Structure 1
């Protein structure tokens, strides 16, 4: 039995579309199954990894975290590389200033105020009188490192700057070395104390006490060096010398008429003074001489009257 043309035409027309639809549905179902399988496997892997990380020791966890961070940083080419923070530097700063001022005492008071306002202190101060009219001051100031440049600028502008010297010494390696030696020495002292606690014999205890005293003394010496370095690197040292200017000599000018009159009058008065002094000096001698002269004349007159009279010529 043959189908009608209409039925054959409809089956030919609907056949290819139906096959494509079934193929698309089958592909979608296969994709969904594979996706669910992948999610399940990933979930199982994540759970297993979580269990393994939970069971791992703390040190291994930190190592894994560090490795993961390194891998993540390497996976991001645009991310900046992580750098360790720079080590702190330790510098000893010193400076010496010589300034000429009008008043050394007032300038010294101003320098003390500048140092104290900056959070520093006056380590030493000496003020002395050079002559009857001039003074000088010597100050040693300690100021914080952060305020060193500002204080130096203010002190330099206090008057006429005569000289200025500054120096900076990096002692970072020395500080690190002393810190390391202190840590080692403390561990050594702790070991000796532990041995002392375990010692049973008196000879061992005496020997360990001597060793402990020696190591304790070395530790205290290192601590003193550390404190000295900390003080010198925390506070800068400024030595300030303040001097007053010397009086300028008067300039000689050509004498004029009035100067000549004044000089002549001064010479005349000087001559009169000397004459008066001469008269005053010879007055006693003149007075005694006048008295002796008067007496001599009186005696002579009396002697002439009392002498023998000569007889007349005819007798």
Structure 2
């Protein structure tokens, strides 16, 4: 038979064991709840992050796709050369200027002159937008008789993309050099960085100038137009030259010969005038002052033979003796 003290001890042990078991179960439940809640929270966060990440990835991908430089389909340099014979050069030139201005372009250079026969001719360079190139070229061809025509299209898309990429890299390089200059504290480093910055800045400016040139040549097409007067051809029945043609040709040859003679005389006249002046000075000034040479005396004639003595007669000899 158990005593009351033993009974109370057993009961206390049972109560204590039950309390410990309840506490253990409570702790296990809390831990499970925490684990479940934490896992759920992490799962929810992961679920929230994953769509966002996926959406962000898609957005970044879309931005990357949009940021990728597209090949410019219009990066083409178009040039054309056109020679047209017209009845009125001045009128055709004014029409060409108007066509370029209406298309949104302008006149680059213009040279006008006359040939040996006095006929006017001109050469003008037109810059027109690329999208109006075909329209303006067709209009210019309709102003007269086309004698010569050339057209060329050069695709410079690769050059445009390459220059753009190099400009981006060069700008980043210049920015890095400037950042290093801000941090440099020694004079030698500053001098070295300044030289490097000057070199890279010059390269960047050259690339920018090339990009501007490519942009100008691809956005504006170049048309070189040569205008000349249509030669007048006299129509004849059988196509052979007649008397009037022969007379005109002879007169033209005669005038040409006279022209060349006049040119020759004009070229010789200064020398002839100089020669005449020198001759006059010689005769009037120099020659009278020259010492004159003595005139040689005429040579004396050689003496002739002496006359022979006559023979003395006898009477003359006696008379001479008496004297």
Interval containing the TM-score (normalised by the shorter chain) = 0.5 to 0.7
> Matches of residues 154-169 of structure 1 in structure 2 within 5 Å?
154-169=139-154
The answer as to whether partners of 1:97 and 1:163 remain within 8 angstroms in 2 is yes
1-side partners of 2:191 and 2:70: how far apart? 47
Counterpart selection for 1:63 from 40, 57, 61: 57
Aligned partner of 1:138 in structure 2 is 123
- From the superposition, tell whether residues 53 and 164 of structure 1 become closer, same or farther in structure 2 (CA, over 3 Å): farther
Aligned partner of 2:251 in structure 1 is none
2-side partners of 1:92 and 1:154: how far apart? 20
Per-residue displacement from partner, 1:197-217 (whole Å, max 9, x unpaired)? 000001100110000000000
- From the superposition, tell whether residues 64 and 244 of structure 1 become closer, same or farther in structure 2 (CA, over 3 Å): closer
- From the superposition, tell whether residues 169 and 64 of structure 1 become closer, same or farther in structure 2 (CA, over 3 Å): closer
1-side partners of 2:187 and 2:93: how far apart? 63
2-side partners of 1:47 and 1:114: how far apart? 73
Counterpart selection for 2:102 from 117, 121, 128: 117
RMSD: 3.0
Counterpart selection for 1:87 from 59, 64, 71: 71
Aligned partner of 2:162 in structure 1 is 177
Aligned partner of 1:199 in structure 2 is 184
> Matches of residues 36-47 of structure 1 in structure 2 within 5 Å?
none
The answer as to whether partners of 1:53 and 1:61 remain within 8 angstroms in 2 is no
- From the superposition, tell whether residues 194 and 103 of structure 1 become closer, same or farther in structure 2 (CA, over 3 Å): same
Per-residue displacement from partner, 1:19-77 (whole Å, max 9, x unpaired)? xxxxxxxxxxxxxxxxxxxxxxxxxxx9987643544696554226789xxxxxxxxxx
Q: Which runs of 5+ in 1 are unaligned?
A: 1-45, 68-83, 256-315
TM-score (norm 2): 0.55
TM-score (norm 1): 0.56
Number of equivalent positions: 195
The answer as to whether partners of 2:71 and 2:161 remain within 8 angstroms in 1 is no
2-side partners of 1:240 and 1:152: how far apart? 10
Which structure has the bigger radius of gyration?
A: 2
1-side partners of 2:114 and 2:92: how far apart? 15
> Matches of residues 1-315 of structure 1 in structure 2 within 5 Å?
51-55=45-49, 61-63=55-57, 87-89=71-73, 90-248=75-233, 252-253=241-242
- From the superposition, tell whether residues 61 and 248 of structure 1 become closer, same or farther in structure 2 (CA, over 3 Å): closer
State the 4+ residue runs in structure 1 displaced beyond 6 angstroms: 46-50, 64-67
